[in-house]
Amino acid sequence: MGVGTYLALASVLFGIGAVGFLTRRNMLIQLMSIELMLNSVNVVLLAFNRAYPANHDGQVFAFFVIAVAAAEAAVGLAILIAYYRIKKTIDTDDASLLKY
Amino acid sequence: MQLEVPQQSLLLLIILFPLGGAIINGLIGRYMPKGLVTVVGVGTVAVSFALAVASFIELYGLRHEAEQATLTYHFYEWFSLKLPAGDVVPVNVRFMMDSLGGIMTLVVTGVGGLIHLYSVGYMGEDEGYARFMSFLNLFMASMLILVLGSSVPVMFIGWEGVGLCSYLLIGFWYENRDYASAGRKAFVVNRIGDFGVLIGMFILVGVAGSFEFTDINAAAMGGQFRPDFPIWVSGVAPSLATVACVFLFLGCTGKSAQIPLYVWLPDAMAGPTPVSALIHAATMVTAGVYLCCRLSPLFITSDVAMSIIAVTGTLTALLAASIAVVQREMKKILAYSTVSQLGFMFAAVGVGFFAAGFFHVFTHAFFKACLFLGAGSVMHAVHAHGDADIFKLGGLKKDLPITRWTFLASCLAIAGFPLTSGFFSKDEILLGAAAQIYRRDDPLMTSVGWFTLIGLSLAAVMTAFYMFRLYFLTFTGDYRSADQSGDHPYDAHPHESPPSMSIPLIVLGIGALVVGFLGLPHVMPITGMHLPSWWSEWMHASVAGRPVPEELHIVNLASGLAFGAMAIGIGGAWVLYRNKNTDALTETIPARLYQLAFDKWRVDELYAAIIVNPIKKIATVAGRADMTFVDALMTRLPSFNVRESGRILSRMQSGVVQMYAAVMVVGVVAVLAWFWTPHSHIEATFEDTSVELTTPQGIGYEYRWDANSDGEFDTQWDRVPGTTFEYARDDIRGVAVFLSNVQSGVERRVRVTEDWTPLPVESVVPADLRSPHDTGFEVRVDGQDLLFRRPGARTKGEIRLPMGRDGRLGLARVFARPVVEATVEVRNAFGNTRRATKEIALPFSVDAPSHASLMPMTREVVR
Amino acid sequence: MSSLMGVSPLLLLVAAGLAIMLVDAFTKERAELALVTAASLFVGAALAGALLVSGDIAPAPDLVTRYLAVDRLGLFFDVVICVGAGLCALLAGGYLREHGFERGEFYVLIIFTAFGAMVLARAVDLLSIFLGLETMSLGAYALVAYRRTSARAVEGAVKYFLLGSFAAAILLFGSALLYGATGHTDLAGIQDVVAAGEADATLTILALVMLIVGLAFKVGAVPFHMWVPDSYEGAATPVTTFMSVGVKAAAVAVLVRVLVGAFGDPVSMSLYTGWTPVIIVLSIATMVYGNLAALVQTSVKRMLAYSSIAHAGYILVGLAAAHEVGSFAVSSVLYYIAAYTVSNVLAFGSLILMGSKGKEAVSYDDLAGAGRRHPMAAFPFVIGVLSLLGMPPTAGFFGKYYVFSAAVQAGGPMIWLAVLGVLASAVGAYYYLKVIVYLFMREPEEDQPIAVPMQSMYVVAALVLSGYYVMKMGITPSRYLDWAVSAASSFVG
Amino acid sequence: MTTQYLTWLLALPAISALVVLLMPRSWETAIKRFSIGAMLVELVISIRLVLADYSDAGYHFVEHVTWVESFGISYKVGVDGLSLWLVILTTLLSPIALYASWGSITTRIKEYAFSFLLLELGMLGAFVALDLFLFYVFWELMLVPMYLIIGVWGGKDRVYAAVKFFLYTMVGSLLMLIAILYVVSSYQKLAGHYTFDLQELSTLVLPALPQYLLFAAFALAFAIKVPMFPFHTWLPDAHVQAPTGGSVILAAVLLKLGIYGFVRFAMPLFPVASEAIGPILAGLGVVGIIYGAYTAWVQRDLKKLIAYSSVSHMGFVLLGLFAMNRTGISGAMLQMINHGISTGALFLLVGAIYDRRHSRMLDDFGGLAKVMPWYAVFFVIITMSSIGLPGTNGFIGEFMILAGSFFSRSPIGFGSAWFIMTLLAATGVVFAAVYMLHAVLRMFWGRVVHAENESLTDLNRREVLSLLPLIVMVFWIGLYPKFFLDKMNPAVDSFVSEFTVRYHEGRRTSEPRLVDFEELADRFEAAGGLAMAQPTDEEVAR
């Protein structure tokens, strides 16, 4: 299989993540959509690393992405909890105090 | 021969004394005792008079040494102008006394002094006495500057200065707002005239290169004012002299109360009577005549202007006299009489008898001042304030003998009773008019002469009539306020005025009778005897004029008319008014006509309706529009738009996260769309005859070229974004003509076909040389040439310009270029393609040296 | 002989951050953490400044330079970010205490966020860009959510976090594609491949689009600005200040490094086909939108948020000019961001100063009449808004002059961009003046209290410092100008 | 080493402003005395400037210090005949305006004095700057203190007026900034270095099209400041709302900066454009003359009336300026001084009555001549100056402007458009009498109808003291303008001749280039000069 196939897969994953992020109101699911997008990036990185076997830049990059995604999730969940404490919901539509 | 005596500091002192008086009285007068105010006010004028006499004597002594003797005093340089030719024209504060100015100075200081004296009695009790004296002195100073100023701008200081004083003095009793309004009216109307003087002055200096009267007159005599003055689009081109004179005369109509600007003078009677006598009868209002005399060599060169002046003067004389006939108030009658007499003077000027006109100024100063002062004396006697209704007076000859006799003397003079001063001066004017009738070579002046002669005779009849109507109703019959009936009767017991008032009356009354002998006619009527005329000889030195006729029949005609008019007028008044108490005239003429004349022919109302009110309306509209329309357009509308778009834009910030993300996605799509489509932009550079075509490079772009747009690509898809091409004659798509405006540098391109195409007129013809129907040029291609022509002109008027060569057409640099078209197709990394086409005007000819190749292929040569 | 001297400001911050964390954990008394934080940040700034001025920086180990640039551009941003963060720490020292939520972790977060920003500003590898960006962003998310009992703060944090992660994902995908297109993750390598035209065009373009979008988000360019007003308004004012100066500066730095660096070849920068027109359009949209939306705000804080969007637009004008006058344009961007940093701190700081316990000044109405009663407290506010507005002789004027000058120098359509820019900034005059109007020319409504300025030496110190630099960079800009020029020339030659 | 008078002239207000800022606000008297004292010292320094020899056209007291080297920005100042009297006008009117303000300004004395000193700094700086950047800095610097003066100490709608004033002026000047940058950038591309030095930039010749755009940008900034119809609508608002001192300075000095900008910068730098657009601006000036007069006539608020009269008067100045000959330009320069004096004095007078009566409505007055005779005397004198009575200053200016416009553009002086413009402008002289005397009539003549007016007191010592210098100037300029014109004329002469050379050079060029104008002027002179703007007969191929 060529790089193209991986790329197509990654694009689909990225698209699903983006659409999920755009359409869902539940913050948890949005968070998961973002994780999906990050993972699609990992696929791309790994696939390309196969095309450029001279070094392991792509794979190293992917490790860092995984690590950062975890950190991001931690901060995100913390914010989510704070949000839930105040609003008693995790629906993003209710975050409409700040506008205009 | 001319003789100029420089640095006569007396001239300056003549002016400075009254000016000093004005300043002293104005600043500290109100804190000074009344006596001191009088001393300062009257004393300075008296000194001024004495200095004037001394100067005059000196001038008089020079009369044998030179034909034109002048005393001058150069004070300092005021400022300077630079004319287009590069000459710097200094405007000097310089004074000059010649024969004309000398007489005028004497009149101003002499009569003025008497009136100052009179004011001591008349105004002594007024609380604003010091102020009054100050203004009066200021007036004297301004008037003297007007008279003695040796150049137009210096004269203009006085000219406007007297206007200011007139304004201040008319509104002297400012607590009455009507009086103050009258003052304002006087000032504004005068300003309209001053506008004319200002413009006239520019023309004078533009032609003569100097502001000095002597230089201007010399230029006029040298014919420098003869060239035409084309008036924009009208096609009329009067001479420069005419235009200058008409503008100057506009000024004169303002200052000297002629049609159409006379309306302020009757209202000006709101001022205290001495003011009316001094400013609005004896001196200021004659300034216009004085100016005409000053510039008589200029005026006499323009028959058109002279005719306008003569006709205006005659019409004014008639109109004012007709109004005066039916008025009821003393000062009003005298005011219209002044307007009428000024009309006489201008008529004289208009027929070229400047000396005669000025002689009338001279005599008029005496009798009209005397009349006004007499009227003032009457009002003082009966305690009338403002003005006196003659139908409430009557029989005053018993109580006011001095006033009565001096008044009678002046009435006789103004009516032209033989051997009084008015007789001589009026006779001379009629003679001038009569003389024109006999100028058979000049139809314009002949008809003007007829008009003037008949008009003035009629006016003279009316003059004699209304003056004696005034006299009889005031001084004969019964005193109609004696029984204190009727509304607002006057004091039941009139009394003669104090000596400070009667002395001036006596002096002026005598003057009114005798000063005429200075200007005896050249030829005695009937007898044909030649008489020595001191006046015309003296005036000859500084005033031009048409020749005085010597023929006896002309003299007889003029004198006969003058005498007849006087006789009819006085006779009529005698019959209708002597010892009468009512206005018999109301029964003899139709009531509506009477009323119309009484309402001054409703000229004020007419002006209000057609000039003042429309302007006021425009002003009101402008005033309202400024804060609504203009401000809205310039500020509120833009600011409203900005604010509202801000409001709408900030609504985009809805607060919903998904919406925010969606906007981001839209942004992503937009950026992607930019890269999705290929972009191109053809640039052409020329080297010799080859053209290098390039388009910007893009990431992953490929290009193919069709340099001559013939539908076949010259190159294959390639990463290199350029190509080089040599165009052949078949590639030419047409011809473009470029017009480069040499003034503005703006370049325009014009399509050219085999049909005539108009060129943009503004590129070719300068704006100020363009007439409304000017369409400039048309152009078409003819084989290898370009043809230009004026639209509608015959073929032979065409201009031929070989293509490839540059030419000049009016304001434009013209060159023709062959036009080709290049196409490029671009393909980007996403496989999208796009075509771009550009017209290129080649800066060289193709297939040189023959231009035949430029022959257009089709009729429509440039798309 | 390699040395870590070139990255010493970074190391210093890490050490300071850890130290403060320890101090905070083990002391009970209220230590003057704000002072310590500000001091360490200023020391960092001084260190970077000294290196910047001295000119010769000892080469760092390859391991470092592979990921972090040790150049004057980086040092310049070190100075800007450290100064901005230090001033914000001072502001926080007053603000948090006055409003009663001072806790040690705030200062730690500030330091680490600043550290992330500095890493980002120096990043020369896609990986370090990502890491720096995330370090900075995570800190910033936490800082926004710091007042966790406030609904507004948490809401702002939610929006910031969600959109920020989304943008980061896009950026990351772009990075991956770029890696695919060129085979390199380091910008220098990418630049070589792209300039040689050897990169896969489709992937390169897609990557470029995604990188522009991801970075434009951080800069706050329209239409990727949507989070800015909300999270700026929600966050505590010192945090807002820091986000508008430090975070933005870092984003601008990496934008410069990516666009003018990696995509700095003439083809990628082309005015007709490259990224320049995209930046031009973004800058137009940003300037117009920012100014117009700021016009109708009733809250000063939100107005300043929108105005910071507008200022991002002016910065993009300078960036867009880079296709023609590279070094000049970049130095104008640098000068602008520096001037903007001090001006914005001054304005936000004055807003902080105008509030006191229980009555934070947020809206225009809160300011009504305050200037009349406390002219000395209102005076820095006037200077601050005048500088943001671009009145001479302030730093803001010179910055604006510089970016527009770059645009005019670039010629062609860029001149019209400059014209549009000045017109947009004329609109800006209205809302900045409104601050002065409320301070000096309005009286509060009948029953409304008049703002009482807080008494805090921290805030006063921050204001004095920033005010001093606002005036100094406006009246004698030469020195800072030279710094900016040398920093830019170290990068674009 | 000459003494750095100009630097002192600029430093003094700046230092004094700082000193005032540091004084405690309770020292009101000290602040008043100190600020007036500083301004009087300014006056003395500026009078020293008059003593120089202005018979040659160049700049005097030039100081040149590099400011920002990499951009070629320098602190370069100097005066010549064009700016000299404007500097004097500023230093004369600033203390007068400040002194007169103490009648009505009773709060925030310190800030007021501070603003005024800063304002004076800005105005003087703009007049003496010979570096475009420096000029722009001072030009903008002026806005803030004026904005504060209107906004803080003004009338009821002061905020609206202040913001309008600020924004209006700012919009115009920002485009000018871009234009300046363009000029500098064009210069840099040819010469290889940046400079904002006016004299160096003057060697740059641009082709016609950029000249048009750049001139338009400059002209917008200046026309708004003048203010030229239809950009004048900020003026009535600003004047009506500003406190007396602010109005005086606004009318007397600030408006002059617009015209000065034209003369100093826009016209020499873009001669082709000014030759082409100038007549249009002059035409708008004429519209302003008449329109301003009409609108002034129907105003009921005295301050508004005077504000519109400013529009009318400044229309004259525009007309004279674009007549492009010495008479017109000298007249315009002088008329600026005249307008400063007479309108400044009028605003002082309005302020005096407003302080007493708290009204400026004409309807509220009448018969004041009875109650306040000296006030009436001063008012009438200034009115006469304003309507240009010979013997007062107004006449000289208007006379020269009309003459200049009359003789503009052709040897004998009858180019049709200019002839008509002159005629129309001259009617403005009539209308000036109409509206001013209307005001005088409503104010002073008639009976005292309002009981409140019966107890008004006449001018006090402070008011008389602040008016007297202006009255003296009215007659000094009116009777001996040569003193002023002689210092001005050489500069104007050289301005006109340089303009001609530049104009022809600009017309000829299609690419930006640098030219040595001195050499060119010599050649031009040797060739006998060319008739301005008129194509020769051969050129008009008919």
Q: Chain C residues with CB inside 8 Å of D151's CB?
A: 436-437, 440-441
Residues B211-231: what's their mean pLDDT?
Answer: 86
pLDDT at B86: 79
- Chains adjacent to B (≥3 CB pairs closer than 8 angstroms): A, C, D
pLDDT for res B853: 39
Q: Is the confidence at residue B815, as pLDDT, over 70?
A: yes
- Percentage of chain D with pLDDT > 90? 64
pLDDT at residue number B863: 31
D166 touches chain C (CB under 8 A): yes
Confidence label for B509 from pLDDT (cuts 50, 70 and 90): very high
Count other C-beta atoms under 10 Å from residue C361's C-beta.
24
- What range defines the domain where residue C467 resides? 5-492
Out of B583-592, D345-354, D450-459, D470-479, pick the least confident.
B583-592
Strand pairing class (B833-841; B812-827): antiparallel
What average pLDDT does range A53-74 have in this prediction? 92
pLDDT for B805 beyond 90: no
CB contact under 8 A, A48 and C180: yes
Asked if pLDDT for residue D43 goes beyond 70, the answer is: yes
Give Cβ neighbours of residue B234 (< 8 Å, ≥ 6 apart). Answer: none
Label residue D542 by pLDDT band (50, 70, 90).
very low
Burial per residue of C90-103, b for 16 or more beta-carbon CB atoms within 10 angstroms, e otherwise: bbbbbbbbbbeebe
List CB contacts (< 8 A) between B670 and chain C. Answer: 223
Q: Cβ–Cβ of A80/C162 closer than 8 Å?
A: no
Contact A51 C183 (CB under 8 A): yes
Q: How near does any CA of chain B get to the CA of A30, in Å?
A: 10
Q: Which residues in chain B touch residue C266, judged by CB atoms under 8 angstroms apart? A: 697
Residue C78 pLDDT: 94
Express each pLDDT in B146-188 by its tens digit: 999 999 999 999 999 999 999 999 989 888 888 999 999 999 9
pLDDT above 80: residue D305: yes
Q: What is the pLDDT of residue B500?
A: 85
What angle in degrees, to the nearest 10, is found between the helix axes of D482-508 and D81-101?
130
Q: Read off the pLDDT of each residue in C83-90 and give the average, rounded to a whole number.
A: 95
Average pLDDT on B253-270 reads 91
pLDDT value, residue B593: 86
Parse chain A into domains and list their residue ranges: 3-92
- The DSSP annotation for C103-151 comes to -HHHHHHHHHHHHHHHHHHHB-BHHHHHHHHHHHHHHHHHHHTTSTT-H
Contact D167 C430 (CB under 8 A): yes
The pLDDT score that the predictor gives to residue D541 is 37
Residue with tokens 């002391």: C27
Q: Indicate the angle between helix axes D416-444 and B177-208, nearest 10 degrees.
A: 160
Q: Quick check: D530 pLDDT over 60?
A: no
D216 touches chain C (CB under 8 A): no
Quick: pLDDT tens for B98-117. 999 999 999 999 999 999 99
Average pLDDT, chain B: 86
Query: Any chain A CB within 8 A of the CB of B648?
Result: no
Residue D538 has pLDDT above 60, yes or no: no
CB environment B287-298: b (16+ within 10 A), e (fewer): bbbbbbbbbbbb
**Neighbour subunits, C (≥3 Cβ pairs < 8 A):** A, B, D
What's residue D412's pLDDT?
53
What is the DSSP code (8-state) at residue B840?
A: E
What percentage of chain D exceeds 70 in pLDDT?
Answer: 95
Q: Work out the average pLDDT over D72-86.
A: 92
Token pair of D230, please?
């239809």
What's the pLDDT score for residue B764?
Answer: 66
d(CA D311, CA D305): 10
The predicted pLDDT at position C101 comes to: 83
Given a cut of 70, whether residue C29 has pLDDT beyond it is: no
pLDDT over 60 (residue B860): no
Nearest to B232 by CA among B810, B790, B772, B776: B772
pLDDT score for B742: 67
Give pLDDT, residue C404: 95
Task: Please tell me the total count of domains within chain C.
Answer: 1
Local confidence band at D392 (pLDDT 50, 70, 90 cut-offs) = very high
H or E stretch at D68: strand D60-68
Give the nearest partner residue to B192 out of D209, D276, D430, using CB atoms: D430
Is the pLDDT assigned to residue D104 strictly greater than 90? no
Q: Tell me the pLDDT band of B438, cut-offs 50, 70 and 90.
A: confident
Check pLDDT > 90 for residue D56: no
Among A92, A97, A100, select the one facing B651 at the smallest CB separation: A100
Nearest chain A residue to B663 by CA distance is A22
CA dihedral sign of residues B606, B611, B617, B623:
negative
- Between D67, D71, D170, which is nearest C429 by CB? D170
Which fold, A3-92? Answer: Helix Hairpins (1.10.287)
Q: Check whether C58 has a pLDDT greater than 80.
A: no
pLDDT per residue as tens digits for the range D475-495: 999 999 999 999 999 999 989
pLDDT digits (tens, 9 = 90+) for C428-474: 999 999 999 999 888 888 777 777 888 889 999 999 999 999 999 99
Q: Is the pLDDT of residue B855 over 50?
A: no
Query: Which residues of D are less than 8 Å from C409 in CB distance?
Result: 181, 185, 188
C283 and C417 in contact (C-beta within 8 Å)?
A: yes
Q: How do the domains of chain D map onto residue ranges? A: 5-501
pLDDT greater at residue B552 or residue D41: D41
Q: Taking a C-beta distance cutoff of 8 angstroms, is the pair C107, C23 a contact? A: no
Q: Which residues of C touch B665 (CB under 8 A)?
A: none
Average pLDDT over residues C82-97: 93
**C229–chain A Cβ distance below 8 A for any pair:** yes
% of residues, chain B, pLDDT over 70: 93
Distance (Å, whole) CA B467 – CA B445:
31
Residues of C in contact with D184 (CB under 8 A): 405
What residue type is C289 in one-letter code? Y
Cβ contact C–D (≥3 pairs, < 8 Å): yes
Nearest to D377 by CA among D251, D471, D473, D446: D471
Among C397, C405, C476, whose Cβ lies nearest the Cβ of D181? Answer: C405
Calculate mean pLDDT across residues C404-424: 93
pLDDT of residue B803: 66
The per-residue pLDDT of chain D, averaged, comes to 89
CA distance C67 to C69: 7
- Please compute the mean of the pLDDT values over residues D57-84 and round it to a whole number: 90
Contact D151 C436 (CB under 8 A): yes
**Rounded mean pLDDT, B685-704:** 86
Band the pLDDT of B281: cuts 50, 70, 90: confident
Give the distance from residue B611's alpha carbon to the nearest chain A alpha carbon, in angstroms: 58
**Chain B 753-812, residues with CB within 8 Å of chain D CB atoms:** 765-769, 790, 799, 808-811
Task: Give the whole-angstrom CA distance, residue C193 versus residue C183.
Answer: 9
The fraction of chain B above a pLDDT of 90, given in percent, is 43
- Which residue of A33, A91, A93 is the best one to mutate when testing the B interface, meaning the one whose CB has the most B CBs within 10 A? A93
Q: At B458, is the pLDDT very low, low, confident or very high (cuts 50, 70, 90)? A: very high
Q: What average pLDDT does range C361-382 have in this prediction?
A: 88
Of the partner residues C393, C409, C478, the one whose CB lies closest to the CB of residue D141: C393
**Nearest alpha carbon to residue B111 among B668, B390, B505:** B505
Q: Does D152 touch chain C (CB under 8 A)?
A: yes
pLDDT tens digits along D111-127: 899 999 999 999 999 99
pLDDT at residue D531, rounded to an integer: 39
Confidence (pLDDT) at B859 = 35
Distance from CA of D95 to the nearest CA of B (A): 27
pLDDT score for B854 = 42
- Taking any CB pair shorter than 8 Å as contact, residues of chain C touching chain D are 372, 375, 386, 391-393, 397, 401, 404-405, 408-409, 411, 415, 418-419, 422-423, 425-426, 429-430, 433-434, 436-437, 440-442, 476-478, 481-482, 485
pLDDT higher at D539 or C58: C58
Across all residues in chain C, what is the average pLDDT? 91
pLDDT of residue B858: 36
Q: Is the pLDDT of residue C275 over 70?
A: yes
| Confidence at B798, pLDDT banded by 50, 70, 90 | confident
Which tens digits make up the pLDDT trace of D123-182? Answer: 999 999 999 999 999 999 999 999 999 999 988 889 999 999 999 898 888 999 999 999
Distance (Å, whole) CA C444 – CA A86: 33
Chains B vs D: touching, with 3+ CB pairs under 8 Å?
A: yes
Q: Subunits that touch chain D (at least 3 Cβ pairs < 8 angstroms)? A: B, C
- Which residues in chain C have their CB less than 8 angstroms from residue A77's CB? none
